[in-house]
Structure 1
Amino acid sequence: MRLLHSVFTRLLLLCAMVAGGAVAGAGAANAAVPDVWGFAYVDTSSGVPNLAYQAGSWGPGPTVSVTPGVPGEYFVRFPKIGIPKGGIAHVTAISQSAEWCQIEKWGQSGSDEIVAVRCYRFGGGPAKALFSIVFASSSGALFSAAQAFGYVFWDGTSIASDYNSSLGVNAVYPNTTGDWTVWLPGLGSAAQAGNIQVTAVDSSKPARCKVGAWSWAPSGQKIQVLCHDVADKPYDTGWTLTYQRERAITGAYAPPKLFAYTFDNVPANPGPYAPGPAGINYNSQGGINTVQTAGGGMRLVSFPKVGVTPNNVQVTAYGPGPEYCNLLTLWTTYGSNVYVRDVVCYKGTTRVDQPSFVTYVSQY
């Protein structure tokens, strides 16, 4: 009777979500998708990018490679981790100008996974930007109450891929143009904790996406996704979202020991300061992450005790407007410390102090 009651309750919840305009994800069905991950710092438009900053679950031997498309377009091939469907991808531009990168699409090619990336200057022209990229797929449940991980790929009309480490059913509620509410049940927390990354997915037009708002409860995480077009107008597009708590951005599979994340929620603070509450400023080795100003709209982020290459950094802007963030240069690994010098945020082409999420992961 208890099992029957649980199933009946779940059916009622799904019916209520549909009636309320929600689009539900596949939930536990993702257990059929292999667990894989890969990341890279792409510093070339053709060939093999920097070997010191690429790694993946494929093991030693194969390497990431890049093939150019039209101006500003790059096809990143992750070896030996091709999956028939699903997964999640994020990309962050590395540039000293007002530029960003977005995902166009991804898919399996033989045993490999290819992620198409498109980079733009503000105003819409193609950019020859460097970028940092990560691809991952997760399945199964996490059984630690402290840890949580979930992702959603919204393809513009529905949830095309998702994962929830509690095996809860993720949901997306479309609001007005360029505005969605994401509900991640079972990944809740009593206090604000974790990190969020969001990336636009669009193969036809320039698009930028970010976190607009975030609220939390023991029952789950509620996250607003906002997207804008090249003219800073709200825009309906696809996007990817990942939520992590005490888990690396690379997902549920074979988690590394060295990773960290922070939420620079007081960007006017000259610092160095440790963002609070503690749950948004996590370091797997117990180090205290700090953030400080590096000039107008620029923030130096320090992740102590976790520095080892290969490694990767992703950044996402936070707030209600069209602001966006990227990385000014490649992060530095010095001793056991990582210095992200700098996160830089823009409104149009003007650098502005803007809240941002920053996540770091190593291979180890």
Structure 2
Amino acid sequence: MRLLRTVVARLLLVCAMVAASATAAAGAANAAVPDVWGFAYVDTSSGVPNLSYQAGSWTSGAVTVAPGVPGEYFVRFPGIGIPKGGVAHVTAISQAAEWCQIEKWGQVGTDEMVAVRCYRYGGGPAKALFSIVFASSSGALFPASQAYGYVFWDGASIASDYNSSLAANSVFHNATGDWTVWLPGLGSSVQAGNIQVTAVDSGQPARCKVGAWSWAASGQKIQVLCHGATTTPLDTGWTLTYQRERAITGAFAPPKYFAYTFDTTPANPGPYAPLPTGINFNYPGAVNTVQSAGTGLRLVTFPKVGTLPNNVQVTAYGPGPAFCNLLTLWTTSGSDVYVRDVVCYNGTGALGQPSLVTYTSKY
């Protein structure tokens, strides 16, 4: 009997260890957001872009760029290729009314290739610099205060998506160039987080933005608006990412240095801190500010997060065909980051326009 009790006790101990191991593994999997990620500042049409502004989950190698037709660039992220899925965003860096869009992305060997196309207002090709980010996630995310989700709409259906609550995202086509995105399970009692939207189209000029945003405890509802080369609404593909207390890549701690803000009142000369505080997040706990830098120009300051390599993305907000880009490369000075400047356009003229800006570092 004593031997039997000893055997049973050992079996129970082994089962407990297996269960504990499984629980730990599940916890690790739940925390493993993202699966892969990468970002870069592309300042060349061929070769290796600035190494100080690129980082990713690869173990070796560097981002490379190859040219295509005028205004087209093939950005290759080393060692993070996935068979399908993921999400990509791109922001033009230019002193003119230009934008960049995603054409497509996919695995090439062990790498991930993202094709980017840049245009000037009216539809001609643009030789723009740009900032780009790619990420792919799976599994649940805890704690509930943090949330992350994305959708890739290919023009007809959801081709790739993720929701950190594991709920099913949905998209409703309202009218030409107008969609409603529902991200269930990522809800908040107040407005909180940040949104980035990028057009995806390999056949024509397209640009997309956030038209409207509402929130509830049950989820986030976001309107996506897209236009063609000028002011005409356009049915096209697009990507959307929602982040709350996570980096734009979905990662957290690291990076310990990331931030985002929503310039809700572009007529405010500032510097001001956008409210509510949930839309003006800074992981170290500093306060981001926005201020005027001229007509249609907004200087965004992200304090205490300045470390290289890093990345900035921007998306316009509101009705109509206005769009935003970055006037020049952001500056990292000491522990602060200065986005000098976010610039928004209606046609070729700069104007005050609400915008969503997100920043992340590698660390």
Is residue 2:47 matched to residue 1:47? Answer: yes
Query: TM-score scaled by structure 1?
Result: 0.90
SS at match of 1:141: coil
* CA distance in 2 between partners of 1:245 and 1:277 (Å): 13
Distance change (3 Å), C-alpha of 1:185 and 1:50: same
* CA distance in 1 between partners of 2:255 and 2:78 (Å): 20
- For each residue in 1:248-278, what CA deviation from the matched residue of structure 2 results, as whole angstroms up to 9, or x when unmatched? 0011477411100000000000000000000
SS at match of 1:283: coil
Q: Please report how far the alpha carbon of residue 143 of structure 1 lies from its aligned counterpart in structure 2 after TM superposition.
A: 1.6
Q: Which residue of structure 2 aligns with residue 313 of structure 1?
A: 312
Q: Which residue of structure 1 aligns with residue 137 of structure 2?
A: 138
Q: Which residue of structure 1 aligns with residue 214 of structure 2?
A: 215
Q: Is the 8 A contact 1:33 1:86 kept in 2?
A: no
Q: Please report how far the alpha carbon of residue 296 of structure 1 lies from its aligned counterpart in structure 2 after TM superposition.
A: 0.1
Q: Please report how far the alpha carbon of residue 225 of structure 1 lies from its aligned counterpart in structure 2 after TM superposition.
A: 0.2
* CA distance in 2 between partners of 1:297 and 1:33 (Å): 36
Within-5 A mapping of 1:159-178:
159-178=158-177
Q: Which residue of structure 2 aligns with residue 150 of structure 1?
A: 149
Q: After TM superposition, where is structure 1 displaced by more than 3 Å over at least 4 residues in a row?
A: 31-34, 252-255
Q: Please report how far the alpha carbon of residue 121 of structure 1 lies from its aligned counterpart in structure 2 after TM superposition.
A: 0.5
Is residue 2:62 matched to residue 1:63? Answer: yes
Q: Is the 8 A contact 1:261 1:359 kept in 2?
A: yes
Q: Please report how far the alpha carbon of residue 231 of structure 1 lies from its aligned counterpart in structure 2 after TM superposition.
A: 2.3
Letter in 1 for 2:52: A
Q: Is the 8 A contact 2:213 2:221 kept in 1?
A: yes
Q: Is the 8 A contact 2:306 2:334 kept in 1?
A: yes
SS at match of 2:278: helix
Stretches of structure 2 that go unaligned for 5 or more consecutive residues are: 1-30
Larger radius of gyration: 2
Within-5 A mapping of 1:3-152:
35-59=35-59, 61-152=60-151
Within-5 A mapping of 1:278-357:
278-357=277-356
Query: TM-score scaled by structure 2?
Result: 0.90
* CA distance in 2 between partners of 1:132 and 1:250 (Å): 13
Distance change (3 Å), C-alpha of 1:187 and 1:255: farther
Q: Is the 8 A contact 1:248 1:255 kept in 2?
A: no
Letter in 2 for 1:259: F
* CA distance in 2 between partners of 1:155 and 1:254 (Å): 32
Q: Please report how far the alpha carbon of residue 34 of structure 1 lies from its aligned counterpart in structure 2 after TM superposition.
A: 7.7
Q: Which residue of structure 2 aligns with residue 20 of structure 1?
A: none
* CA distance in 1 between partners of 2:163 and 2:230 (Å): 34
Q: Is the 8 A contact 1:138 1:252 kept in 2?
A: no
* CA distance in 1 between partners of 2:114 and 2:121 (Å): 22
Q: Which residue of structure 1 aligns with residue 231 of structure 2?
A: 232
Distance change (3 Å), C-alpha of 1:277 and 1:104: same
* CA distance in 1 between partners of 2:320 and 2:206 (Å): 14
Within-5 A mapping of 1:239-258:
239-252=238-251, 255-258=254-257
* CA distance in 2 between partners of 1:200 and 1:251 (Å): 20
* CA distance in 1 between partners of 2:32 and 2:311 (Å): 27
Q: Is the 8 A contact 1:33 1:83 kept in 2?
A: no
Give the percent of matched residue pairs that are identical in Structure 1 and Structure 2. 81
* CA distance in 1 between partners of 2:318 and 2:247 (Å): 23
* CA distance in 2 between partners of 1:108 and 1:217 (Å): 37
Letter in 1 for 2:179: W
Letter in 1 for 2:256: K
**What is the root-mean-square deviation of aligned Cα atoms in Å?**
1.5
Q: Is the 8 A contact 1:36 1:253 kept in 2?
A: no
* CA distance in 2 between partners of 1:254 and 1:162 (Å): 23
Q: Please report how far the alpha carbon of residue 145 of structure 1 lies from its aligned counterpart in structure 2 after TM superposition.
A: 1.6
Q: Please report how far the alpha carbon of residue 192 of structure 1 lies from its aligned counterpart in structure 2 after TM superposition.
A: 0.3
* CA distance in 2 between partners of 1:203 and 1:33 (Å): 29
Distance change (3 Å), C-alpha of 1:339 and 1:253: closer
- For each residue in 1:164-209, what CA deviation from the matched residue of structure 2 results, as whole angstroms up to 9, or x when unmatched? 0000100000110000000000000000000000000000000010
Within-5 A mapping of 1:272-283:
272-283=271-282
Q: Higher mean Cα deviation, 253-262 or 303-312?
A: 253-262
